[in-house]
Chains A and B, each alone.
Chain A
Amino acid sequence: MAAEGLAQSAPKPRHRSYWRDVWLRLRRNRLAMASLAYVVALVLVALSAPYIQRYDPIVQDLDNAKKPPSMEHFFGTDLYGRDIYSRVVHGTRIALIVGIIATAVAIVLGVMLGGISGYFGGFIDQLVIFVYSVVATFPSLLFILALTNALPPVGEPRLFKVYLAIGLSSWVGMCRLTRNLFRSFREQEYVLAARALGAGPLRIIFMHMVPNMTGFIVVAISGGIAGAIAAEAGISFLGFGVAPPDPSWGVMVSEGRSYLQANWWMIVCPAMATLLAVFAFNLLADGLRDAFDPRHENV
């Protein structure tokens, strides 16, 4: 009887999966959790933008131009009387879309090219090194601007080409990382085993090797979104990005810049939105890096 009771109260051998470990480590990092909460809030705001905006973000109301923040207009109104709160809320959508498209392009391209080059080596490797050396040597901002000018206006959203340009200019880091990782993976037993079982190179690369770098990819997604949001804001500021009526944070900053002293809210609100979003994604990336690789912590 007693023995049975003991056996029941003894802790069961707990099987903690890899992902659960990562989550537990991430949860200990308060800064990263706060960033994660902010990122989730951004996603919710972006999804519900049409319901929580209080005015149309594009329609002008010249009678109410340059109004300071008030109960009617939380963040004030801009030069054309548009409600800045509604524009910032709507801009969240643009920022997240930029981040997701640009990062997806950069990571898919980087992992594919880096994976193929690291796995096969030889001539293909030399070719990939040459291509990424050219892109790395190209002054990055000029590359994005020239690409933006050159790409035809494709698809919806209208500014898809800007997002594509940001992605096409930022895959080199991921490519290098994947290449270096794969050069060490390729000597490991599980790859040998897969090959001995008759798996082809594409199957080995994408089904066996890529899953082994999931941690790096998750970190790169978070950091990449931060970089893409900052890049879009910078490009819009230089006047190359989003066409003015669209409420992108970068466009709002550059529009508000001339009124900085008299109507501060026109620039401060979108600038803070940009800053907080970039900080949150970067902090989350740092936290994820520590969570995936505990040895890396505090170094």
Chain B
Amino acid sequence: MSSYLNYTIRRLLFAIPILWGVFTVTFILFFIVPGDPARLLMGQHRDAAMEAAMAKQWGLDQPMHVQYWNFLKRVAVLDFGQSFTTKREVTDSILQRLPATAALGIPSLTLGMFLGIAAGLWAAMRANKAADNAIRFITFCLVSVPFFLLAIALQALAQRWDFLPIAGYVNGPAGWLHLVLPVFVMTLGSFAGLTRLTRTAVLEVLTEDYIRTAKAKGLPEVVVVVRHALKNAMIPLVTNLSVAVAGALTGAFFVETVFAWPGVGLLAVDAINNRDFPTIMGTVMFGAILFVLADIVGDLLTAYMDPRITLK
């Protein structure tokens, strides 16, 4: 157990320079943009005195390196300051919108994982037969189709036949119907990727000696595949946890935009539209931290499941 703890701590320490890099890139990308942020904030109603006051309030009148340092100190404790547009604390906005995004992300990743493993297993057992070809065709289409087109198409169908709410977020138990379409779209996304991964992994494992032994013992094929092959085939899936999370996050930007879903993705897209720097930084760092954590959890689970791997 202590080796896991050691490993986790070391990985977290290694993540710090990476997150620092993400912070610095975001900072540079924002500040090399031509145009004074304080002026942009004022929009149509420009007024030199108010502009100066505004610049002072957000510290935009300071030299670049002072701003960088001040901001870095605050971001290190996850304080992104106030939004330029809504004047709310960015951390509060993110936390307030987190449940909506989690309501999409958690069920769709879970469902996508179960369905993906099942479909991948089935395809591998029927390799190059009709069922396999059908699954490969469907997942190929799902992987290729741009996500927002899929979301728009489903939304259009729902609107035409009026069988599901097509947009918006309703809090409480009455709102679960609003979840169906966006969760469905996101599930299709993670399902396709995980099916392809599972199929490849199972096919690879099926050629190994211990599988032949299991078959030679006379075990039924289902038992061989589910009890023996799946365990090892799960390993690449778990290793790719961070990829699945990153994919879900990118999907969330589009799904939340199409379905007017007030989650973190929509917050980020709006922030970039408004050049709301603190919110951009907050959402970027939120995504980056999520990715780093998923990566570490994935590696820990891999080591737990595969005794051949030692954590170093």
Q: Footprint of B on A, CB under 8 Å?
A: 130-131, 133-134, 136-143, 145-147, 149-150, 152, 226, 230, 233-234, 237-240, 253, 257, 260-261, 267, 271, 274-275, 278-279, 282-283, 286, 298-299
Of chain B, the residue at the smallest CB distance from A280 is B144
**In the bound complex, CA of A270 to CA of B261 (Å):** 25
Kindly identify, within residues 186 to 244 of chain B, every residue whose CB is under 8 Å from any CB belonging to chain A: 200, 203-204
Of chain A, the residue at the smallest CB distance from B203 is A299
Shortest beta-carbon distance, B250 to chain A, in Å? 5
- Contact flag A226-B144 (CB < 8 Å), given A134-B21, A137-B19, A137-B292: yes
Pairwise interchain contact B29-A150, C-beta atoms closer than 8 A: yes
Pairwise interchain contact A137-B18, C-beta atoms closer than 8 A: yes
**In the bound complex, CA of A143 to CA of B28 (Å):** 12
Collect the chain A residues with CB atoms within 8 Å of residue B288's CB. Answer: 137-139
Of chain A, the residue at the smallest CB distance from B155 is A260
- Contact flag A138-B22 (CB < 8 Å), given A150-B29, A234-B147, A240-B272: yes
Pairwise interchain contact B249-A146, C-beta atoms closer than 8 A: no
Shortest beta-carbon distance, A123 to chain B, in Å? 15
Pairwise interchain contact B152-A260, C-beta atoms closer than 8 A: yes
Collect the chain A residues with CB atoms within 8 Å of residue B22's CB. Answer: 134, 137-138
Shortest beta-carbon distance, B312 to chain A, in Å? 16
Of chain B, the residue at the smallest CB distance from A150 is B29
Q: Which of A134, A150, A234 contacts B148 (CB 8 A)?
A: A234
Contact with A along B232-269 (1 / 0, CB 8 A): 00000000000000100110011001000000000011
Kindly identify, within residues 33 to 74 of chain B, every residue whose CB is under 8 Å from any CB belonging to chain A: 33-34
Closest 10 CB pairs of A and B: A139-B287, A134-B21, A150-B29, A230-B146, A146-B29, A282-B144, A137-B288, A145-B272, A237-B148, A141-B253
Contact with A along B127-151 (1 / 0, CB 8 A): 1100000000000110111111100
Collect the chain B residues with CB atoms within 8 Å of residue A138's CB. Answer: 22, 25-26, 284, 287-288
Given contacts A134-B22, A279-B144, 12 further A-B contacts (CB under 8 A): A130-B17, A138-B25, A138-B287, A139-B284, A145-B269, A146-B284, A253-B152, A274-B149, A275-B144, A275-B149, A278-B144, A279-B141
SS class, residues of chain A in contact with chain B: helix
Q: List 18 A-B contacts (CB under 8 A).
A: A134-B22, A136-B291, A137-B291, A139-B249, A142-B272, A143-B25, A149-B272, A149-B275, A150-B29, A150-B32, A233-B149, A234-B148, A237-B254, A253-B149, A260-B152, A261-B160, A271-B153, A282-B143
Shortest beta-carbon distance, B264 to chain A, in Å? 10
- B180 beta carbon closer than 8 Å to chain A: no
Collect the chain A residues with CB atoms within 8 Å of residue B149's CB. Answer: 233, 253, 271, 274-275
Q: Which of B146, B149, B200, B249: most chain A Cβ within 10 A?
A: B146
Pairwise interchain contact B34-A142, C-beta atoms closer than 8 A: no
- B280 beta carbon closer than 8 Å to chain A: yes
- Contact flag A238-B269 (CB < 8 Å), given A146-B280, A260-B156, A278-B145: yes
Of chain B, the residue at the smallest CB distance from A279 is B144
Pairwise interchain contact A267-B152, C-beta atoms closer than 8 A: yes
Pairwise interchain contact A282-B140, C-beta atoms closer than 8 A: yes
Of chain A, the residue at the smallest CB distance from B147 is A234
- Contact flag A134-B152 (CB < 8 Å), given A234-B147, A278-B145, A299-B204: no
- B108 beta carbon closer than 8 Å to chain A: no
Pairwise interchain contact A139-B246, C-beta atoms closer than 8 A: yes
Pairwise interchain contact B30-A257, C-beta atoms closer than 8 A: no
Pairwise interchain contact A140-B18, C-beta atoms closer than 8 A: no
Shortest beta-carbon distance, A34 to chain B, in Å? 14
Pairwise interchain contact A146-B26, C-beta atoms closer than 8 A: yes
- B110 beta carbon closer than 8 Å to chain A: no
Pairwise interchain contact A233-B250, C-beta atoms closer than 8 A: no
Collect the chain A residues with CB atoms within 8 Å of residue B249's CB. Answer: 139
Collect the chain B residues with CB atoms within 8 Å of residue A146's CB. Answer: 26, 29-30, 272, 280, 284
- Contact flag A134-B18 (CB < 8 Å), given A149-B275, A238-B257, A278-B144: yes
Collect the chain B residues with CB atoms within 8 Å of residue A298's CB. Answer: 127-128
Shortest beta-carbon distance, B84 to chain A, in Å? 14
**In the bound complex, CA of A65 to CA of B147 (Å):** 29
Q: Which of A142, A267, A286 contacts B283 (CB 8 A)?
A: A142
Shortest beta-carbon distance, B108 to chain A, in Å? 17
Collect the chain A residues with CB atoms within 8 Å of residue B284's CB. Answer: 138-139, 142, 146
Collect the chain B residues with CB atoms within 8 Å of residue A139's CB. Answer: 246, 249-250, 268, 283-284, 287-288, 291
Pairwise interchain contact A278-B128, C-beta atoms closer than 8 A: no
Pairwise interchain contact A141-B250, C-beta atoms closer than 8 A: yes
Pairwise interchain contact A134-B146, C-beta atoms closer than 8 A: no
- B96 beta carbon closer than 8 Å to chain A: no
Of chain A, the residue at the smallest CB distance from B151 is A237
**In the bound complex, CA of A48 to CA of B25 (Å):** 41
Q: Which of A141, A238, A275: most chain B Cβ within 10 A?
A: A141
Collect the chain A residues with CB atoms within 8 Å of residue B268's CB. Answer: 139, 142
**In the bound complex, CA of A136 to CA of B284 (Å):** 12
**In the bound complex, CA of A149 to CA of B128 (Å):** 47
**In the bound complex, CA of A296 to CA of B269 (Å):** 40
Q: Which of B18, B19, B145, B280 contacts A142 (CB 8 A)?
A: B280
Shortest beta-carbon distance, B119 to chain A, in Å? 17
Collect the chain A residues with CB atoms within 8 Å of residue B85's CB. Answer: none
Shortest beta-carbon distance, A294 to chain B, in Å? 15
**In the bound complex, CA of A157 to CA of B280 (Å):** 28
